[in-house]
Amino acid sequence: MDHFLYRDGQLWAEDVALAEIARAVGTPAYVYSAATLLRHFDLFDQALAGIDHLVCFAMKSLSNIAVLKLLGDAGAGMDVVSGGEYLRARAAGVPGARIVFSGVGKTRAEMHTALSGGIRQFNVESEPEMEALSEVAVALGVTAPITIRVNPDVDAQTHAKIATGKSENKFGIPISRARAVFAMAAALPGLRVVGIDVHIGSQLTTLAPFAAAYAKVAELTAQLRADGHAITRLDLGGGLGIPYTRSNEAPPLPAEYGAMIRQTLGHLGCEIEIEPGRLIAGNAGLLLSEVIYVKSGEGRDFLILDAAMNDLIRPAMYDAHHDIVPLVEPVAGVEQRPYDIVGPICETGDTFARARPMPPLAAGDLVAFRSAGAYGAVMASEYNSRLLVPEVLVSGDQFAVIRARPTYDEMISRDSIPAWL
């Protein structure tokens, strides 16, 4: 469920007409619903009620500090994958005790930043990383809490570019070597092993891969405890998918996911951490765009928008589907026609949809890309020297620009010409 609904023939975000935002901010622009973000966080929090747990928002999906503060004030932790994300979380007021640091390539500088500012744990992914973290922690005179990420070799049955739990993926330590690596960690100074980490991929639409991975984690927990390790925390990652189309098929609900966690891991008495991103943010955001031209081609017609692949790269990178709807509600029964929906960038890859049935549209009409809150603004760029897309947060009948569109002068002034030119 989201809070983007037609009312009186216009598409609204909560109690604000999206056309009003487009007039005030211009297009393209991202718009987020605070009520939807909070509702989705609450669904995960409630799904684990009665279990010692922490829901950490996966910041890589949406990292605007206004959104982080909204979720942090509601009790969310943060899952960060870079020093920059760590500093964003802290700037949003999230305490270090609620921040977990993931990622395969943490630098010593990033480790230093997090250890100095406070951290819940590092999710360590390799022996060299473990050794580096030990050295940094000893130099600072502190102890770094860690989980060790294991790769369970489970097929997440998702897009190849966002699968992370198979043996050929770069993530984690092969589960077959886990006991030796945990023994190594226990012997290193400056480290304190607190648990196991696992994450098998993103946009999963069935619980079976999760259950298979978590069963392996349960078995490993028993083995590690027998080896003398105090395994008190299980970080289960994220990955639960969202419905990008309005079909009858929908991914499992957070409540079903929570029930599966209880069934597979509840007997272990561990604190549970989960790191959802897409399901919290995805359907909480839209990308607004304006039709520039309607163009007739050879055997097809094109809707040319002012949004482009630099603003929303998911269709070009992942062949991802986003529902695209007009801001003016179509008349019931209106005849639709197929359009290729494209942006203005000089690449054929700048295509959002092919032969997409749409109601009649004309230059100047506004449309919205649904389910664009996750991996939209965070992956945007200034390719073709296009201005970075702004972000807007709606709460009830209020809206605020939470990242402004830069000016061309601001964009160009970041470059510099050497004195010798």
- Band of the pLDDT at 165, cuts 50, 70, 90? very low
6: left (phi over 0), alpha (psi -120 to 50) or beta: beta
Give the H/E segment covering residue 42: helix 34-47
Residues 110 and 197 in one domain: yes
Domain with residue 386: its CATH number is 2.40.37.10
Decide if 307 is inside a domain.
Answer: yes
> Could you tell me the CA-to-CA distances from 53 to 46, 234, 235, 272, 364 in Å, in that order?
10, 9, 10, 5, 48
- What's the CA gap between 197 and 187, in Å, rounded? 19
Residues 175 and 198 in one domain: yes
Decide if 61 is inside a domain.
Answer: no
Residue ranges with strand state E in 37-164: 53-58, 77-80, 99-101, 121-124, 144-151
Residues 202 and 232 in one domain: yes
Q: Taking 70 as the threshold, does the pLDDT of residue 247 lie above it?
A: no
Domain that holds residue 12: 4-31+282-413
Residues 258 and 287 in one domain: no
Decide if 90 is inside a domain.
Answer: no
Residues 299 and 174 in one domain: no
Residue, of 406 and 161, whose pLDDT is higher: 406
Decide if 115 is inside a domain.
Answer: yes
- Residue 167 is predicted with a pLDDT of 46
Among residues 225, 251, 274, which one ends one of the domains?
A: 274
Decide if 62 is inside a domain.
Answer: no
Among residues 243, 274, 305, which one ends one of the domains?
A: 274
Q: Taking 70 as the threshold, does the pLDDT of residue 168 lie above it?
A: no
What's the burial of 335, exposed, middle or buried (CB within 10 Å: 0-12/13-18/19+)? exposed
Residues 221-235, mean pLDDT to the nearest whole number: 95
- Band of the pLDDT at 197, cuts 50, 70, 90? very high
- What's the CA gap between 200 and 194, in Å, rounded? 20
Residue, of 310 and 158, whose pLDDT is higher: 310
Residues 397 and 340 in one domain: yes
Locate 22 and state its tokens.
Answer: 């487009």
Closest CA to 96 of 124, 63, 118: 118
Question: Strand 285-296 relative to strand 29-33: parallel, antiparallel, unpaired?
Answer: antiparallel
Determine phi and psi for 369, rounding to 5 degrees: -85, 115
Residue ranges with strand state E in 52-189: 53-58, 77-80, 99-101, 121-124, 144-151, 173-174
Q: Taking 60 as the threshold, does the pLDDT of residue 327 lie above it?
A: yes
Locate 237 and state its tokens.
Answer: 């990652």
Residue, of 347 and 201, whose pLDDT is higher: 347
- What's the CA gap between 392 and 285, in Å, rounded? 9
Residues 267 and 286 in one domain: no
For residue 95, the tally of other CB atoms under 10 A from its CB is: 14
Residues 14-40, mean pLDDT to the nearest whole number: 98
Residue ranges with strand state E in 38-161: 53-58, 77-80, 99-101, 121-124, 144-151
Residues 252 and 320 in one domain: no
Determine phi and psi for 38, rounding to 5 degrees: -70, -40
What percent of the chain is predicted at pLDDT more than 70? 94
pTM of the model: 0.93
Give how many domains the chain has, as a whole number.
2
- Residue 175 is predicted with a pLDDT of 87
User: What tens digit of pLDDT does each residue of 252-261 get?
Assistant: 889 999 999 9
For residue 406, the tally of other CB atoms under 10 A from its CB is: 15
Decide if 242 is inside a domain.
Answer: yes
Among residues 274, 295, 328, which one ends one of the domains?
A: 274
Are 133 and 124 a contacting pair, CB within 8 Å? yes
Residues 192 and 305 in one domain: no
- Residue 170 is predicted with a pLDDT of 52
- Residue 158 is predicted with a pLDDT of 45
Domain with residue 110: its CATH number is 3.20.20.10
Residues 269 and 326 in one domain: no
Closest CA to 79 of 376, 280, 248, 232: 280
For residue 370, the tally of other CB atoms under 10 A from its CB is: 22
Average pLDDT, the chain: 93
Handedness of CA 19, 21, 23, 29 (dihedral sign): negative
- What's the CA gap between 178 and 125, in Å, rounded? 11
Please identify every residue annotated as catalytic.
Answer: 346
Residues 282-311, mean pLDDT to the nearest whole number: 95
Residue 267 CB partners (closer than 8 Å, separation 6+): 218
Decide if 83 is inside a domain.
Answer: no
User: What tens digit of pLDDT does each residue of 338-394 get?
Assistant: 999 999 999 999 999 999 999 999 999 999 999 999 999 999 999 999 999 999 999
Decide if 40 is inside a domain.
Answer: no
Residues 353 and 254 in one domain: no
- Band of the pLDDT at 88, cuts 50, 70, 90? very high
Residues 268 and 286 in one domain: no
- Residue 164 is predicted with a pLDDT of 43
- Residue 166 is predicted with a pLDDT of 43
- What's the CA gap between 275 and 272, in Å, rounded? 10
